[in-house]
């Protein structure tokens, strides 16, 4: 029945909307200050990148909600989450090694692999 996969997608999409997508789309610099990022003098490019990432996050969340309804039909979403987790882990490890990211971002070094493993474990099975 893929109940775990459905719940994973529903909770993940909701978290993505609330914690990343909407805040970045609406107020990327405020979101960055809240996470203790150092703000650049010129903010136009940072705002653009933040809004862009917010739009991408919201797009992924929308498909996540679709996958929550029918995980098997949207099983590629699980592959996407696994690969996003792999690359985002690398990004955060790099930031940790360079010591140029806030402490909260270092926590995500453990969060992204966990999400990838959950996506792998809860990968939907073909309905009978």
Which tens digit of pLDDT belongs to each residue from 41-75?
Answer: 999 999 999 999 999 999 999 999 999 999 999 99
The pLDDT assigned to 110 comes to: 98
pLDDT band at 128 (very low <50, low <70, confident <90, very high): confident
Taking the domains of the chain in order of start, what are their residue ranges?
Answer: 3-121
Confidence of residue 26 (pLDDT cuts 50, 70, 90): very high
Question: What pLDDT, in 10s, does the model give residues 95-118?
Answer: 999 999 999 999 999 999 999 999
Cα 108 to Cα 112: distance, rounded to the nearest angstrom: 6
> Which structure tokens are listed for 85?
């987790």
Q: Is 29 exposed, middle or buried (0-12, 13-18, 19+ CB in 10 A)?
A: middle
Eight-state DSSP code of residue 72: T
Look up the pTM and report it: 0.93
- DSSP letter for 36, please: T
């Amino acid at each position: 029945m893929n109940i775990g996969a459905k719940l994973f997608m529903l909770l993940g999409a909701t978290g993505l909307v609330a914690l990343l997508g909407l805040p970045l789309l609406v107020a990327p610099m405020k979101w960055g200050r809240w996470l203790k990022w150092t703000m650049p003098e010129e903010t136009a490019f940072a705002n653009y990148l933040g809004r862009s990432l917010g739009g991408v996050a919201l797009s992924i969340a929308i498909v996540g909600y679709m996958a929550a309804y029918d995980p098997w039909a949207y099983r590629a979403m699980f592959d996407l989450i696994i690969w996003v987790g792999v690359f985002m882990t690398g990004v955060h490890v790099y930031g940790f090694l360079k010591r140029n990211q806030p402490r909260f971002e270092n926590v995500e070094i453990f969060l992204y692999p966990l999400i990838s493993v959950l996506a792998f474990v809860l990968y939907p099975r073909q309905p009978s």
